[in-house]
Structure 1
């Protein structure tokens, strides 16, 4: 069955006979010719991508999904985001390798073999096994061409020897003559020997396979098992393909063998019921088990190089090719293949299948390709006379109509068989209950076409409408089309020459504003806006909601194009993406969006085209050709991708995660290395440009990042703390992975370390303690000083009182002293006066004595003489016995003892007479008095004063008495 939705008419049924004939014809086409329509996604990587040598000889995949390549410059690894290369110590090439379950990668080079193993940080480290051989045998190794892991043993095969590793011990096996290559097939291990043919390794020995010496003069490059049989397909470099049933060898006389004999073979693989065979000069071929070539892919249609050295099937059943110049990835697991530029197709507005040909209406013309021929190789052919815009191609009543800028055309066998009208046409639809009548949309309205005598002609134009109606629908009474956000309802006249009425609707109901789309559902016209569906009721002249389809689309994104196929499946377009509601037998609809996500932004929205032919085959028009979709593979898109944090690096170290190493629970990073860089990957290698990542650094980010193709993220100047990098991936089909995380801890700087904080707390406590002690001490000191101050004030007051008392006492003493002094002075004066009186008396008495001496006693009477003598003696005795002067001297010395002592100490040379003079001067005696006391003349007193002044060192201006008083 074929359904054309680019200009789907009223979905009227063909006549039963025509339908059956058409279906039978199409099924005959599909069953009679084995072919693959379109090319898979092909992604080429060159040496600038993977930064190694152009040649790649072997390919394998580890349990984490990383892809590895044996390259002339080492082992190359690809994780979907980043390429890495690991070299052998001697820098030699690598021809072969194998990966065991523990993550070890056993490799062979030139005079070297061993294994790579990830260290705790995931960095691949090489361990040589060849070094355990005797030095003389190292150069005999030559190139290790094949590596196998078989029954617990590792085989390193060169042309001269096989080096077998088991239980960390090496064993060497020599060939009967010389080895070529070796092959591991269905848990059996084969070797080619130049003289003995094929050998099988069994229980540690080489067993010769019968009838295989036919290969002695050639090179076997690949052995592939036939499915479900005990046969092997053997590919040779120059002699073609052979089949071996362990009894005999026979040439595989097929189309594929003819191709290989011409171009040669470098081995191959078996993928999804077909053989992939490599060639050294012309890419690869895909052939079925009968040897029929299904597809040929080479430099012309997608590969960057025709030399295919190795082919490998990854865990997702996709194909990798090691080329003589680069690496190629073929997305064989995808349900989609493309027919684009290689097939001469540009933007496709419409497509259909008619009489074994696939037609595509494009912006450059109408093209076709025979499904009976070799679509795998040749491009589409141009239908002459269709240059320009071709809007529509569709089958109506078993005839092929094309609406184009060149007019309304009938096409058959790749040619224009009739030009119905030369005006530009957009599309055609059958009118219900009017056989042999079509309505065609032209650039300025609608024309009625009629079939008369087997030929189609333009009957007339419908008057009264001048629009550009690309998309429209018809029912028994009305023509409906949407333009500029309005819905137009036009009622046909009986003669179809005009419209009885034209109505314009801007809303379908009061709650749903605007017009979304017009389409056929269940063979009647349906209207949609905001995913709410309506039918027009002629009886009420209103739009009534269709709750069935409203409920079906309740959880679907807002749509703007809807198409229903003959199986009841509903195709819809939302934004720039395609979705499918697949109908089951119980009328339940299952929604599919992911399988079509790769078509996002590639659809031609205003001229959407989708064709369903047979039950599971779909063709969609794109901006760059056609997309072929196999609906049987829709369930391939349910599996979730895997998100990986591939590397974690900081200035002093880096870790490559997912290389098989044991991951640390938490990575510790010093604070000085608090700039971290993460790289992400996902072992999803198809549509890599649409693989997106979202991440969040817990402890730093509050929300997930926006989805993007960026697979690296750097964080700088992170504070100390524990962080968790969480990442998830969304593949090109919109399926999200589970979250993957790596935890790490940034150590604080020494001044914010726990020990530092403990020290800070301790120092704070000590400081607080010291401060407390100091405060308490200060308080005590303050109290003490306050007490001292109070005491001082008290003492000052007391001292002041005492001072005042003392001063008072001193004053009293002074007054007393002055009084005493005055009294003493008075007494001194009195004593001096008395002494002077005594002196005067003594002087008088001495004068009397002197005068009495002058008296002649001889003349006196004896009695008088006796009395005279007695009187004289009495006076002399009185004078001699008078101690007044001595008493005066002692008195003065006693009273002025301190003065005399200070004066003597200060002037040791002072004489006693000068001391007496000083004392007399101190007590303020006059010169006359001093002269009388000292029994000298007043002039003598002045002379003594002068001498005293000189001894005391006084100037003329100095007052002697004041000076003496100061002493």
Structure 2
């Protein structure tokens, strides 16, 4: 029996230690406030009010907003609209359909082939004979294979593509799903449960007829917690309804509740109209109160939602808020009245905090609430350090050094100089050495308490991080100083400086004490001082712990043996000491504090294994290492979208991605990334690699976009991984695609090229053969042509010779004709002269005949006159001359008449005479006119021929 009990006890103990980390992690801290991130409507691009929240299987969040449905993937926001715009409720089923309800409209969003969310209205399925949809769809529930869209006047049930209507007994208020069971509030019947297509009344709930139930939550032992708007909280237990009298109930009554949510299965979130939210435990004790004074941008929380990482989202009346509940860090900042914190200490059950404004205190055993820190009178000013030494709390202040006893600040032990820190003097009990603005001072413990003894002479430089080894005082200011105190502690007898730790390692970065030993550090290598040889020896074991860490500035040992270190400008980590003396490095856990530490005056106060206080520039941080997940869940990386050309695939919404083929003209592609990590989005980094283009992963970056241009055709695979704020990298997300070749490099194009080349070779070969044959043929023809050409040339020469001979003959004949013409003209002129002479003789004979009286003589003269007249009458030489001239110059006269149809015969004769180059006198005699008449006839001919005055008439006629 004892053996069995021992086995059970051993099993229970083992189970406790196995499950203890899970219990510690699943808690809400009552010290400080979690990190709060507010998203304003200008950031998410929607309306101010957010009524409901849901999360899909990929971790994306959806918000029912007054201007539509908002989607947040951790990196970017998207908005989707429905008819009538407003969305009041949202739920997501197992297949990924996003069901929404709004004003007189309900339906669902689903992805299309490109991954874009497309809205499908279901309200149109309501039959024409059914009652018209009225008012808002306030709630959407998914129970089994049915989807419920609840309005105040009826509920529409969608199943198997059809809509049925559930009518209320009187009028619905709101509805809720608890443990997969659907409940309604009726304004006159109280709470109703939907069973087997019927509404079953929950007895004893009529008390809610005069109020609004905004929340129905699961409570311990299958009970229901009923959250009313203004009547407080009630517990319903199988027909019994009792008020839940507790601290949370008072909050609800005072501030009007808008429902709530169960957190981590052991805490309850209650929303309010007037004062933000509270988180209480199952006893109703308020653990956290978060409102506008503590970081919320609005005090009215319309809804709350717990995501898959047990963090809290709030839909506010104006904005959206993320509350990082599942974190080992909480913050005591401005809402607690604290400024920049330089030191903290637990003393006499009080937490004392040294700030730039003075020393503040809070009872360590009481709950931390807003404005619960109080400023100790007389401590206003810069507080540099707080240390518990020899059972006494010392505060190093810019006005001096003083002690704190019974929650009050004592008088300054030295009010002439500001102090940075104090240390014990090994081997000198009852004495302290303090670093002040002018060097160092000695304090002595007397019967009346600690007193200032003397300022140490011989050195006027100090540092808050100085340390002692029992013989020397060590500090670092550009170089390391070794100060040896005199026996009476009034001066430094010797001052030595060191600027390197060995021959190769130049410079000394920090001086600190670990495990009671003074260490000198440079480039993460630790050395101890060897007094005999006045040199330094490396501690390789300690150096090995820092070998793979970033180059540190300073480190320290806390009261639990953990070694904290600082690196960069404002980052920290800790080597947590295990029971076996080894150290485990914790660095990424402190990444949320990066950039917030007080540079050079970093403060870390380890109280116990669950409480570590860290000073930051805006207050105090509480760190519970027991809540830290030593093996944090890997984040998930998503390739959010893939864009090429004018097409965009929203891959983050797609369940399955088919092969993507990108036309070559769109060979510039763009990727966007996302990761549903919401607690420290500013520390999220992405690393990517395009297989087929990149050889190595890119350096981590917080820019969630990558573009590639001018990709060559081929197959590619885009890989993306995300590194969260804890340094944990995700598995790569991948999408494969292929860039099609340009048409001129397509495989079919290459086949065409081969066919074209083959055809070209064949064609060229045939052409060459044909050309050779043709060349031979043309060569024969050419020879024949040359022969014929020679023969033709000979004939042509013969012909031209004959033609020349004929031309010469014609020329000779023409000359002869012209000569004959000239002779004929001359003869004609002689005849004319003869006839003229004969006419003159006739006239003389007539005169003589008139004078002669002798008849015989008259007869003879008359007979002679008749003979002459007969001769003149019978002389036809002039007519023959004109006829001859016309015959000889027939072609000329023909051309002249064709060219100038209006020319007269008389003008044609004149033209002929001019062509024959006859003189004016000759023409006058032939034409029997005067010389002036010839000139007048020439003038009229020139005018008829339209000749310019300067052009020669005879030359013109010869050119016709």
Q: Which residue of 1 aligns with 2:617?
A: 623
Number of positions where the alignment pairs a residue of Structure 1 with one of Structure 2? 775
Q: Deviations over 1:495-523 (max 9, x none)?
A: 21223433222222334332232222222
Write the distance in 1 (CA, Å) between the matches of 2:262 and 2:188: 29
Residue 470 of structure 1 and its aligned partner are, at CA, apart by 2.1
Q: Which residue of 2 aligns with 1:254?
A: 246
Q: Which residue of 2 aligns with 1:125?
A: 118
Residue 285 of structure 1 and its aligned partner are, at CA, apart by 1.0
Q: Which residue of 2 aligns with 1:451?
A: 445
Q: Which residue of 2 aligns with 1:730?
A: 723
- Counterpart pick for 1:65 among 55, 59, 68: 59
- Counterpart pick for 1:365 among 358, 362, 369: 358
Residue 595 of structure 1 and its aligned partner are, at CA, apart by 0.6
Are the structure 2 counterparts of residues 341 and 636 from structure 1 closer, same or farther at C-alpha, using a change threshold of 3 Å?
farther
Q: Report whether the alignment pairs 1:232 with 2:224.
A: yes
Q: Residue 502 of structure 2: SS of its match in structure 1?
A: coil
How big is the alpha-carbon RMSD for the aligned residues of Structure 1 and Structure 2? Answer: 3.3
Give yes or no for contact 2:54–2:91 (8 Å, CA) kept in 1: yes
- Counterpart pick for 1:757 among 747, 750, 753: 750
Are the structure 2 counterparts of residues 776 and 414 from structure 1 closer, same or farther at C-alpha, using a change threshold of 3 Å?
farther
Q: Report whether the alignment pairs 1:606 with 2:600.
A: yes
Q: Which residue of 2 aligns with 1:267?
A: 259
Q: Which residue of 1 aligns with 2:638?
A: 644
Are the structure 2 counterparts of residues 173 and 445 from structure 1 closer, same or farther at C-alpha, using a change threshold of 3 Å?
same
Residue 439 of structure 1 and its aligned partner are, at CA, apart by 0.5
- Counterpart pick for 1:80 among 42, 61, 74: 74
Q: Which residue of 2 aligns with 1:697?
A: 690
Q: How does 1:326-345 map to 2 (within 5 A)?
A: 326-345=319-338
Residue 785 of structure 1 and its aligned partner are, at CA, apart by 6.6
- Counterpart pick for 1:176 among 141, 161, 169: 169
Are the structure 2 counterparts of residues 533 and 246 from structure 1 closer, same or farther at C-alpha, using a change threshold of 3 Å?
same
Q: Which residue of 1 aligns with 2:374?
A: 381
Q: Report whether the alignment pairs 1:296 with 2:296.
A: no
Are the structure 2 counterparts of residues 48 and 788 from structure 1 closer, same or farther at C-alpha, using a change threshold of 3 Å?
same
Residue 407 of structure 1 and its aligned partner are, at CA, apart by 0.8
Write the distance in 2 (CA, Å) between the matches of 1:268 and 1:710: 36
Give yes or no for contact 1:146–1:156 (8 Å, CA) kept in 2: yes
Q: Which residue of 1 aligns with 2:19?
A: none
Q: Residue 758 of structure 2: SS of its match in structure 1?
A: helix
- Counterpart pick for 1:217 among 206, 210, 219: 210
Give yes or no for contact 1:120–1:662 (8 Å, CA) kept in 2: no
- Counterpart pick for 1:392 among 382, 385, 389: 385
Q: How does 1:560-959 map to 2 (within 5 A)?
A: 560-575=553-568, 576-635=570-629, 638-664=632-658, 666-778=659-771
Q: Which residue of 2 aligns with 1:162?
A: 155
Q: Which residue of 2 aligns with 1:39?
A: 33
**Structure 2 unmatched runs, 5+:** 1-23, 792-960
Q: Which residue of 2 aligns with 1:517?
A: 510
Q: Deviations over 1:384-413 (max 9, x none)?
A: 444443211222223221112111122345
Q: Which residue of 2 aligns with 1:476?
A: 470
Q: Which residue of 1 aligns with 2:841?
A: none
Residue 782 of structure 1 and its aligned partner are, at CA, apart by 5.6
Residue 290 of structure 1 and its aligned partner are, at CA, apart by 1.6
Give yes or no for contact 2:215–2:228 (8 Å, CA) kept in 1: yes
Q: Which moved more, 1:401-410 or 1:350-359?
A: 350-359
Are the structure 2 counterparts of residues 96 and 706 from structure 1 closer, same or farther at C-alpha, using a change threshold of 3 Å?
same
Q: Deviations over 1:612-669 (max 9, x none)?
A: 11212111122332222111122166222111111222343222122244321x2123
Give yes or no for contact 1:112–1:138 (8 Å, CA) kept in 2: no
**Structure 1 unmatched runs, 5+:** 1-29, 801-967
Q: Which residue of 1 aligns with 2:307?
A: 314
Q: Which moved more, 1:642-651 or 1:759-768?
A: 759-768
Q: Which residue of 2 aligns with 1:535?
A: 528
Q: Deviations over 1:112-145 (max 9, x none)?
A: 2222111121111222222222224252453222
Q: Which residue of 1 aligns with 2:278?
A: 285
Q: Residue 551 of structure 1: SS of its match in structure 2?
A: helix
Q: Residue 629 of structure 2: SS of its match in structure 1?
A: helix
Write the distance in 1 (CA, Å) between the matches of 2:584 and 2:726: 16
Write the distance in 2 (CA, Å) between the matches of 1:787 and 1:461: 129
Write the distance in 1 (CA, Å) between the matches of 2:509 and 2:42: 49
Q: Deviations over 1:899-936 (max 9, x none)?
A: xxxxxxxxxxxxxxxxxxxxxxxxxxxxxxxxxxxxxx
Give yes or no for contact 2:357–2:380 (8 Å, CA) kept in 1: yes
Write the distance in 2 (CA, Å) between the matches of 1:769 and 1:379: 99
Q: Report whether the alignment pairs 1:553 with 2:553.
A: no
Write the distance in 2 (CA, Å) between the matches of 1:34 and 1:646: 33
Write the distance in 2 (CA, Å) between the matches of 1:476 and 1:453: 25
Q: Deviations over 1:525-559 (max 9, x none)?
A: 22222322222334454433323212333333322
Write the distance in 2 (CA, Å) between the matches of 1:240 and 1:696: 56
Are the structure 2 counterparts of residues 755 and 397 from structure 1 closer, same or farther at C-alpha, using a change threshold of 3 Å?
same
Give yes or no for contact 2:30–2:367 (8 Å, CA) kept in 1: no
Give yes or no for contact 1:594–1:637 (8 Å, CA) kept in 2: no
Are the structure 2 counterparts of residues 779 and 348 from structure 1 closer, same or farther at C-alpha, using a change threshold of 3 Å?
farther
TM-score (norm 2): 0.75
Give yes or no for contact 1:595–1:637 (8 Å, CA) kept in 2: no
Write the distance in 2 (CA, Å) between the matches of 1:255 and 1:543: 62
Q: Deviations over 1:84-126 (max 9, x none)?
A: 22222x3242221211110111222233222211112111122
Write the distance in 2 (CA, Å) between the matches of 1:593 and 1:159: 53
Residue 180 of structure 1 and its aligned partner are, at CA, apart by 1.6
TM-score (norm 1): 0.75
Q: Which residue of 1 aligns with 2:436?
A: 442
Write the distance in 1 (CA, Å) between the matches of 2:608 and 2:183: 44
Residue 426 of structure 1 and its aligned partner are, at CA, apart by 0.8
Q: Report whether the alignment pairs 1:348 with 2:341.
A: yes
Write the distance in 2 (CA, Å) between the matches of 1:358 and 1:760: 85
Q: Report whether the alignment pairs 1:425 with 2:419.
A: yes
Q: Deviations over 1:451-507 (max 9, x none)?
A: 2123222111222111132211112222111220x2222233222122343322222
Write the distance in 2 (CA, Å) between the matches of 1:109 and 1:604: 49
Give yes or no for contact 1:118–1:661 (8 Å, CA) kept in 2: no
Give yes or no for contact 1:295–1:377 (8 Å, CA) kept in 2: no
Q: Deviations over 1:793-832 (max 9, x none)?
A: 9x98xx99xxxxxxxxxxxxxxxxxxxxxxxxxxxxxxxx
Q: Which residue of 1 aligns with 2:101?
A: 108
Q: Residue 639 of structure 1: SS of its match in structure 2?
A: coil
Relative contact order (alpha carbons < 8 A, sep ≥ 6): 1 or 2 greater?
1
Are the structure 2 counterparts of residues 553 and 652 from structure 1 closer, same or farther at C-alpha, using a change threshold of 3 Å?
closer
Write the distance in 2 (CA, Å) between the matches of 1:108 and 1:468: 68
